Each structure stands twice: as C-alpha cells, then as structure tokens.
Structure 1
C-alpha cells in the first residue's frame, strides 16, 4: 500500500526494493553497480530491446563484481575475528578450541590426519582474484615500465594518489583492463626477447587480445549512444580513456590505420560529457571544467577528518584523457588542414584564469612535457592553414591577409618564448619528514629532472612551431636565415642536451618538422638520431616521422615538394605523430 515510485531506475529495472539513498542507493552500492541513477526516465527503459540489453549488462556487472564483494566480506570477517571475546561458560569448549588454534605457531607440525588440500586452497584464492595472476604481472609491468616509457613526464605525486586511478579502473572496468593488457603483452614480449615479436603464436595471442578489447569497446559505445545527456557520465569517461589507450597501443605497433576512427570516437564521447554542463559554458569559462569533475566525484579521503583529498578514479582519468585528446586533436589538425575539433575549448582549458597564481584546468606540461602556450599556437597555425586551404579552393586567397594573420601568431610566439627563456626554471621544494621517507625513490630528484627536461621540450616544440608557421606561409625554405636559426637551435638541443635519447619518441612531430627543413650537411645528424633508437619497434612514431622526412628530402631535390599536410595523410591513413 505504501509502494514508492521514487527509487533508482536500476532497482526498478531489476525489480528490487530501493532504499532511495542518493546519489547511489545502498542496493547498487553493495553490489558495485555503476549505473545507479535517478531523474527522468532513461532512454533504455523502453520495454523493448534497449531495456533487455541494459538488464543483461547489469546482470553481467553484478557477476563481474562478485569477487570484490566476497573479498570484502572475508576482510570484514577477518577483522571481527581479531576482537573475539570469551563466550559464556556454556561455550568454554568452543572458546578453548578457538584459542588453541589461534595460538598455534608456524613451527607446530600440521595434523597428519587432516593434510592441507592445496588444490582447494588454490581454487579459493583464484575465486578471490578479480583477474588472473598473469594479468596482475602485466598490470604491474604497465605501471612500472610502460607508463613511464609512453608518458615520461606524467608523474602524479604519490601524496595525491599517484597512478592509483589506473589500478582502480583496471579492476572495475573490463574495457580499460583489456586495453592496457594489450599494450603490456606487446612490450612484455619485447622486453624478454625482441625476436619473439615475430613469433606467429605471439601475434595471434596479441591480435586476440586486441579483438576482445575492440569488442568490449564497441559494446560500451553502443550502450552509451542510447543514453540521455546526463546518464552514465562515468561509463562515458571510462570508455573515452579506453579508446585513447587503444590509440596509443596501435601507434606503438606502427598501426596508423585506425587513428582517425579512434580520435573521432574519443572526441564524440568528450563532447557528450561536456553537453552535461553545456558546451557553451565550457567554451566560455574554465570553472565549468570543475563542474564536470564534480559530476565524476566525490573525491576519496585518505586520512580521518577529511585531511587528505585524492581525486576519484574517474576524475583523474578524465583529466589525463582530456589532456591527451587535446594534444592529439591539435597534432591531427596539422595533418588534416582543419581547425582542431576542440578549438573552441582551447582558451578555457589551456589558458590561465585571470586570478592570481591561477593554473589552467589542463596542464599539458605535466602530461606531454610541453607547456600549453606552444600547443595553443600550433592550433592557431592549423586554423590559419585551414583558412588558406579554403581560400585557395575558392580562388580568393589574399596573400596580404595571410601574412597579416601569420605575423600576429609569430609575435605571440616570440613574446611567449622570450618570457619563457628569461625565467629560471625551478621546482618548488617542500621539505618534510615524509619526503625523507620517500628518499629511496628519489621522488624530489626525479621531479627536478623532469622539470629540466620539460624546459628543453618546450623550447624544442616552440622552435619547431616557428618552422611550421614558416612552411604554411612560405613553403619549404631551408636556406632562409630565420629557418636555419630555428633548425640549428633544435638540433643543438636534441644532440647535446636532451637525455636520455629515448625522449625523442615524445617529440616525433617537432623532430619531423625540423628534419624536413634540414640542409644537406645536417641530414647525417638526423639519420644518426634515428639509428641510435633501439630496438626500432619501440619508436614507431619517430620511424614514421623519418619516413616523412625522407619523402620531403626527395621531393625537395626534385623541386616538387608539396604542402606540409600532404605528407602526413593518405586516402586511408592519418600518420598521427604522438
């Protein structure tokens, strides 16, 4: 008689009683169901195919989360057993028995009449694991080796959670787990023996993992497409993170065939998440990004009295993935001769607020090693190139207007670079006893090294951006005095200052731009840089960039070098040098 119709939609779908707790009811919280939501009726509650698909998805999610629930119960029982009280006299025998067992030392011989059943113990241990032990090995390998290799400038502070968000999402999100396992399997094979990478069986296993990842990704995207704009933002963020991980994996194995498809899918999901707060709001105000992060929260509190706040896994994933997506979108725009698809968000996400000591919502330096202002100006040049392309197609290109727009960009670049080089690059040190505890890992020393490397990276990207602007306005002019100056600056930094040389893999785009404009005497230096990167399979983007460089060299000698963008794309492929 008192039946309520205000329960969450997940409980209604499962025909379960809902306690109507918000933001997530206790039923969904206990079962670790991520789709709990209130509000207006979702699109999948259609009494048809979508509703059946969602019911099946939730059923599978409940099954997948079963090991975590069992583990939680066991931990709870173990905790309660540490505080066992002596029962009443009627239970003295049981109490004594318990006490005898608990006081047994490791040296006590086991009862010969009841030997340990190893098979049963192993079976129970396997039930408690969320995934196989081999996957655990590959996951640790990813966190300790692959993540620093792919993103050497991404070092989230341990006291802010470090890369723990990746671990959390790998456990809770099968699609992200599969995307990461693909990468880890490939690099693990490389680390053991580079010859095994040609083994047909290894490739078959790798392709099977990739196929599983794509299938999971496809199912996730199909479900997301049926959501209203305010539904399942968490699932959208996880899917976006998985797409970007797969993008990096395919590029790592020199497969650029799906670059455009992956990029478009990630951009679509990003815009869907942004629509929750309004695209116009995000384009006009950087504080709107914080609104999105709040939707992905709340943060985790590590210490009592809420004194140590750590971003939730989805918050950290969205910030990291957005940085990579902005970066990829800008680099892709230089090859497509199009305005970056996220161009309208550049100012609010990449520029500092008007407040004192404010920082931009997205800091590319901590992710890609290059400060925001350089990538922002690369985006502006891409917009200029797109405008030039459109005017040439229409037959009304005004060269004076082209030069005028290019001059404005050049002045902005010069002002930023002058200010940047005049500042002393330093890392603020906060000395504390806790820092000393982590001295074995040399975290503070590592931070100083990364800061120096970031300074070099920013200068290399900045000089390369000047060269990119020059090519867009004047074509290939390697003998031009200003062009020669910027080429010489980059070669000096790459040859004598960047260490280790493997960092070149994070600078494939500027390396390619500079290489295309080198003169004959400098070509040997470019070849030597590429040849020194071993094994070649770990540096696919640099190798692909060098292929482009050699094509430009040949066309220059023949006197028929084309436009900048034509060398980065074909009818079927986009060479995304990220």
Structure 2
C-alpha cells in the first residue's frame, strides 16, 4: 500500500513509507536515494519520465544489494564521490606525475578496499550462505520499525569509537581541559547526521577487524559488523549530498558551520578509506575538502568586507562563542564546531602538504600557512594551529616540506621553459636546509625537555603514547625533519641514493625508526618511512619489512602497508631509475597517488 505523505521514492515504488526524514526507513535499509519535498518532482508525470525514474531506482536497488553483500565495485564509490563534486563543489584538477619506470604491482596491491574486504565477506558467505539474506531482512525490519535494539547497537559501536579508535587513530590529540578536551567529538557526532554515519563507518569496520581477530569460525557478530559497514557507506554519501544542497540556502553563520561540518565528514571519510587501504579516491576527497575550506574563509571575508583573508581566529568567531574564555590567552574552551574545525583544518593542511610531494604543484593551501602555522613573528604568541598537538610533528617541519614541494614545482616548470637558474635553486634550497638543521639542533639540545601539563592528572591512566626521553613529539618531529632533508636532496640533486648527503640521512632516519618505543607509532610517520625506504640500499630492505610486519592486524595500518608496497616496487626497479626520478614517481608507481598520512 503506497503512502500519500511519504517520500517520493516510496510513492514511485508503491511502498508504505514511515515518513522519517531526511532518509526514510525503506530507503535507508536499501541504501537508495530518498526524495523528500513538498513539491512534486518533474519525473512524477505518470508517463515516460516516471517510467525512466522507476528503472533508475531499480538499478540503484540492485547496485545497493551487491554492496550489502560485500561485492561493492569501486566505480560505485567513484560515482558517489563524483556526486559530491557536482553537488555544489568545483573540484580542482591536479596532475599526477607518471612514473618513469613500469613495475607490475604485487597481486594484493590493487587499489580499493573492495578487493580486500570482498574476500572477507565471501569467506563469511561460504561459511553460512543464508546469513546475508537473513541480515537483509533483519535490517529492513529494524530500520522500518525503529526497534530499540538497533539504536543500542549504534550507541555501542559509537562508544567503541570514542573509547578506542579515535585515540588509536590520533594518539597525539590530547587537548587541554582549558580548551574543552575531546568532548566536541561526541557532541558533533550526536548532532550531525552525516558525521554520525561517517563515524559509524569507521567504528563498524574496526569492530569487524577486532571480532575477526578474536572470534574464530562463522559468527553472526562479524557478519553484522560488516553488514553495518556496507550500509553506512551508502547512507553517508546520501547524507553528504543532501547537506551540500542545504548549504546553499543558509545564512552566513549557518553556512560556515554547515560547510565546516561537511568538510570534517569528508576528511574523516578519507581517513577511513586510507586506514583500510583504499587510495583511489584520495584526490577527489582532498579536492572537495580544500574547496569547502576556502569557501568558509571566503564567506567570512564577505562579511568583514576588508578585502583580505580573515584570520583563523576570525573564522572561529563566526562559528559561535566559546564555552568560556581566558583573558590572558587568545583561546578558551572552544564550542564543538570551533574545536572540530580546528581539528579537521590541521588534518587538511597536513594532507595537502603531503599530497603536494606527489604532484607537480605547491600545496594548494599554501597561502593559508602563514596565518595558521606561524605566530606572525611574535615569540610570545602561539600559532593558531600547533600541528604537534594533532599529528605529533612540529609546524616548522611541515612548513618546510611544503616549501620543498613548491621549490620542486618551480624547478620543473622553469626547466620545461628553459629558464632554470641553478644558482637560484641552490640559494632557495640552502635557506630551507638552514631552517631544518637549525631546528634539529634545537631538538637535540640538552635543554629540550618535554612540556609538563599540570592539568594532565589522569595521563598515567589513559595516555596512548609510550614514554620516551624528550617526549614522543620531539622523536616524531626529528624523524620527519631528516626525511625532509632527504626530500630536499632529491629535489635539488636528483635521484642519487649513493651520494654522501643522502646516505647520511638514510642511516640516521633508519636508526631513529628502529628506536621506536612501540611499533604502532610508525602509523604517525608513514611519509618519512616511505621516503627513506625508497632510498635504502639492498642490505637495508629487510629492516623496513620487519617494521611494517610488526603492525598487526595489517588491515588497521593501510597507509603503512601501502608505503611498504611502494618501496618494494621501487626496489625491484632500482637499476632502472634515472637521475631525474623523483619521490612523486615512486609514490605513483602503482598507477595512482597514495596519500601517505
């Protein structure tokens, strides 16, 4: 029996609709587009348009059914992601450098999480072939009737994320009590549907991995977690598309807040895909997030009307008032939207810089670096974003990696035009090298001691970082800095693994990596790990394999495993690499860009 008050999708399919907005139970269970609205869609014409739309919905149901059974092809994700770009985003094009050598990827190196996890779901299906159909009926029933069990299950998955996976993914992010702590994570997820579904994607995947490692044999819990993941992926894309459409009709403050939430959801979705080993959508996700980030600054710029980019604190002020303010400091206890924007902006800045090392262009957000990552020359002020608080690496290293990427782009463009000035290249590289060496000397000085947080009373009980002399951030920063020196040497002098300067930094960085107090810390240094590994000698290869193999289960360390795969590809072609080979060619040697974060 069809509904005359439900969504237009259910009316088209002649199904009873529970009228829950923005996605009804039927459409949510089937993972298809839910059309709500007071105005009748143009395709509901009782004619050819309605017939064509009905066929389109049938195809969507069929595609979603394949996705629910663990056979989601990568083109489905690509089509969905393309929808993000067309739904109000102008995605910037970015050229990926083609590799100068042609090595065949290893059998398990195909991009995308479908290849890895289809095998997992296929194993489950063989163990109990009726389980998928049973689970389909279970979800349709629970989604339509809104039984309490589903809500309770969602909450358990969500608390699993808060308690375990967020600290696992971001071990350095431990905001002070005076800044509001991590409460914003829970508040934002509970108050934003797109973020809720994106977070469920993360949590359900990790739960499925945890259950797969602790429970042997056929188990409905593992199947349920996997089924929930596949469902949440479809719902997440629908919610993001709907939110993008709503932004256009918002006032200035609502536009800024809603846009920042969508940006956060996309960045979180990207981190999820990287964690599971899918790198095909990196450029799409990154381009969309960068566009949204710029739109936020442009919106504030239009309000203040000063003809210049607003400050980062100026943008935060347009997202509401802090919970409380401290007169002696610029910051206070950020509200949930302010704290989220700070967190995801830091991740986006890092992602953009690391992506620029794999592309022939400077970081796309380079114009924002001075406003976000420096203190404006005042030693008494903290920069708006301290990256060591988010990823464990100090700002100066990331700034210089961005400058090296910009120098690489300048060198290649002037060389193509026949205007390369080697003296200018060396002069600009020397300035970067002095910054790196000067700060490394500061890190190595005996006076460099870890900062004391007198409000961290409970650090002993919940700190995710292992104790070590000087602190983990100093260790991680030192590794990144030596990798940056390697990157600079390759940009200036070309691919010469045997040169004295490169060998010196390879030996130092490898020795540092082997001093890690815990293998899992490698997750925060994947780019340096890959950089030094590509330049390693044959006798050093096994040492990199040992570090990567220590990260178990492998499915939780997608970026590190991808870095090892890139190294293996480079090692096989070591004798074919010319002097004009660069790091970008190595990263893209598998046929796509891998964002090593």
- Same-fold call, TM cutoff 0.5: yes
CA contact (8 A) 1:153 1:369 kept: yes
Distance 1:344 1:546 in 2: 33
Pairs within 5 Å for 1:408-427: 408-422=431-445, 424-427=447-450
* Secondary structure, counterpart of 2:299 in structure 1: coil
Deviations 1:126-182 (A, max 9, x none): 999998111111111111111111111111234532211011011110000111110
Question: What residue in structure 1 maps to residue 461 of structure 2?
Answer: 441
Question: What residue in structure 2 maps to residue 300 of structure 1?
Answer: 323
Query: Which deviates more, 289-298 or 320-329?
Result: 289-298
Distance 1:462 1:499 in 2: 19
Distance 1:328 1:517 in 2: 23
Distance 2:406 2:307 in 1: 19
CA contact (8 A) 1:165 1:317 kept: yes
User: Which residue of 345, 354, 368 maps to 2:368?
Assistant: 345
Distance 1:569 1:374 in 2: 23
User: Which residue of 534, 539, 542 maps to 1:524?
Assistant: 542
Distance 1:455 1:175 in 2: 36
CA contact (8 A) 2:207 2:225 kept: no
CA contact (8 A) 2:201 2:229 kept: yes
Please say if 1:153 is aligned against 2:168: no
RMSD of the alignment, in Å?
3.5
Please say if 1:387 is aligned against 2:410: yes
Please say if 1:233 is aligned against 2:256: yes
CA contact (8 A) 1:284 1:348 kept: no
CA contact (8 A) 1:229 1:275 kept: no
Moved over 4 A (4+): 49-53, 126-131, 195-204, 225-231, 279-287, 445-451
Please say if 1:180 is aligned against 2:203: no
Q: Gapped runs of 5+ residues in structure 2? A: 1-35, 41-141
Question: Do the aligned partners of residues 192 and 159 (structure 1) sit closer, same or farther apart at CA in structure 2, a change above 3 Å counting?
Answer: farther
CA contact (8 A) 1:251 1:540 kept: yes
Question: What residue in structure 1 maps to residue 153 of structure 2?
Answer: 134
Q: Residue 402 of structure 1: CA displacement?
A: 2.1
* Secondary structure, counterpart of 1:381 in structure 2: helix
Question: What residue in structure 1 maps to residue 489 of structure 2?
Answer: 470
Q: Residue 518 of structure 1: CA displacement?
A: 1.1
Deviations 1:46-76 (A, max 9, x none): xxx99979xxxxxxxxxxxxxxxxxxxxxxx
User: Which residue of 481, 485, 491 maps to 2:510?
Assistant: 491
Question: What residue in structure 1 maps to residue 567 of structure 2?
Answer: 549
Q: Residue 570 of structure 1: CA displacement?
A: 6.9
* Secondary structure, counterpart of 1:568 in structure 2: helix
Distance 1:478 1:292 in 2: 45
Question: What residue in structure 1 maps to residue 282 of structure 2?
Answer: 259
User: Which residue of 168, 190, 193 maps to 2:209?
Assistant: 190
Report which structure shows greater RCO (CA 8 Å, sep ≥6). Answer: 2
* Secondary structure, counterpart of 1:193 in structure 2: helix
Deviations 1:483-520 (A, max 9, x none): 11111111111112x22111101111000000011112
Distance 1:209 1:180 in 2: 9
Question: Do the aligned partners of residues 278 and 285 (structure 1) sit closer, same or farther apart at CA in structure 2, a change above 3 Å counting?
Answer: closer
Structure showing greater Rg:
1
Question: What residue in structure 2 maps to residue 37 of structure 1?
Answer: none
Q: Residue 322 of structure 1: CA displacement?
A: 0.5
Distance 1:326 1:466 in 2: 20
Distance 2:217 2:357 in 1: 36
Distance 2:520 2:162 in 1: 18
Question: What residue in structure 2 maps to residue 501 of structure 1?
Answer: 519
Question: Do the aligned partners of residues 302 and 547 (structure 1) sit closer, same or farther apart at CA in structure 2, a change above 3 Å counting?
Answer: same
Q: TM-score when scaled to structure 2?
A: 0.69
Question: Do the aligned partners of residues 487 and 128 (structure 1) sit closer, same or farther apart at CA in structure 2, a change above 3 Å counting?
Answer: same
Q: Gapped runs of 5+ residues in structure 1? A: 1-48, 54-122
Q: Residue 534 of structure 1: CA displacement?
A: 1.4
